[in-house]
Amino acid sequence: METGETLTLRRIARFWAPLAATWLMMSVEGPFLAAVIARLGEATFNLAAFGVAFSFAMLMESPIIMMMSAAVALVGDRHSFLLLRRFAYALNAAITLAMAVLLLPPVFRFVAERLIGLPHEVAQLTHVATAILLPWPAAIGYRRFFQGILIRSHLTRRVAYGTVVRVLAMAVTALGLYLFTTLPGAFVGAAALAAGVTAEAVASRFMARAAVLALLREGAARMPGPPLTTPAIVRFYVPLALTSVLTLGVNPMVTFLLGRSRAALDSLAVWPVVTSLVFAFRSTGFAYQEVGIALLGDDRRHVAVLGRFAELLAAATAGALAVVAFSPLAPAWFGTVSGLPPELVGFGLVPLRILCLMPALEVLLSFQRALLVHARRTEMITWATAVEVTGIVAVMALGVGAFDLVGAVAGAAGVLAGRVAANTFLARPAMFRPAA
């Protein structure tokens, strides 16, 4: 989006900060819900069940999660808005149907017990928790479409306001069920997540109404160039959807390998707690993809200053996580804040330390993806994600199968190795500037 102003680090920070705050607030969900679940009965079983159910929900939402980037990049007038909205709604219906099929008892038993190898008690908890999360994928798709409209209109603060609504709805639901019901912890966590994201979807649509009306009004400016078409959307979006499917689809693969590792149940229980903490430090980097797409400008005129901001952000976030991981703050977080039993605290320290570089690598990946989306070279993003997933699964399988590592340690090593491979793969394509 061109504004005619010189882009500075300060302007980037003002644009990025509300989006970063959005991701930071969402990063609170995992640790908060893990702490609630850990304080209810049968904490290990319920933490494991919630982690697996959340992985299923994330896999189902994966085709729609890039809709925010698509809206920022493609919507510019009435025609493009209506066409992309119709595409988003159709995709929402398809992923909801797919999740309903997964929930059929014979299908779910086969996936959870035979493929993943969950104990029967954990599989039963996981089934109900996943059913509670059925509204999650469509609500995510709906709100990400309208959040994209807000971002392209430079209304990033409203995106953050919507996330405030989400976190409050999640917290109120979780605490209410914790205090006034006897539901298992996995059910409490799933219900809180579903309530939060549904509230955020409604709030995002409400706050985007003025931006939508501006796009729909008669006489509104039209985008230059040929009108957007459905085939053009498909060509642009399918690589992004495949990227998300591969990225989020790796979670069930990791869960599968954790379930077959040494100390499997302990690894399944501690994995969501570790990854939630790492997510908090990675989260500000997630926001940088939309920042780059929106602010790069014609002919990538702002690439240098955006790159400089990315360097500063990467150093700050990775450094902050390292301070936590290699100090007494980490055991305090796992034991006191997250409420893990003492025997599980030690399981979390090594994986956390292995993952210290992930925040910096996340910023780099977001910047690389922004450059490629801006250039409409989305297929390279898919290839990089395939490289990453291959690296994760290969390293983790080697750690579990050949070296008999504790599952959580093998998982952390795989995640780090896969991300380094993806960043390396994108280094040249992201900086390549196709001829005009």
Q: pLDDT class for 149, splitting at 50, 70, 90?
A: very high
Q: Which residue has the higher pLDDT, 240 or 116?
A: 240
pTM, whole model, 2 decimals? Answer: 0.80
**Predicted confidence band of residue 436 (pLDDT cuts 50, 70, 90):** very low
DSSP 77: S
Is the per-residue pLDDT at 37 higher than 60?
Answer: yes
pLDDT, tens digit (0-9, with 9 covering 90-100), for 86-125: 999 999 999 999 999 999 999 999 999 888 888 888 999 9
Q: Taking 50 as the threshold, does the pLDDT of residue 364 lie above it?
A: yes
Name the range with the highest mean pLDDT among 3-7, 250-254, 332-336: 332-336
Average the pLDDT over 25-34 and give the result: 83
Under 8 Å between Cβ of 58 and 248: yes
| Mean pLDDT value across residues 26-55 | 86
The secondary structure of residue 54, as a DSSP letter, is: H
What is the Cα–Cα distance from 39 to 32, expressed in whole angstroms?
11
Share of the chain above pLDDT 70, in %: 96
pLDDT band with cut points at 50, 70 and 90 for residue 311: very high
| Least confident segment among 5-9, 196-200, 321-325 | 5-9
Residue 435: what pLDDT?
A: 45
- Say whether pLDDT at 434 is over 70: no
Distances (CA, A) of 216 to 82, 219, 374: 9, 9, 24
What sign does the dihedral 251-257-262-265 (CA atoms) show?
Answer: positive
pLDDT at 217: 82
Phi-psi label, residue 119: left if phi above 0, alpha if psi -120 to 50, beta otherwise: beta
DSSP 262: B
Are 193 and 54 contacting, i.e. CB atoms less than 8 angstroms apart?
Answer: yes
397 pLDDT above the threshold of 60 = yes
**Structure confidence at residue 225 (pLDDT):** 67
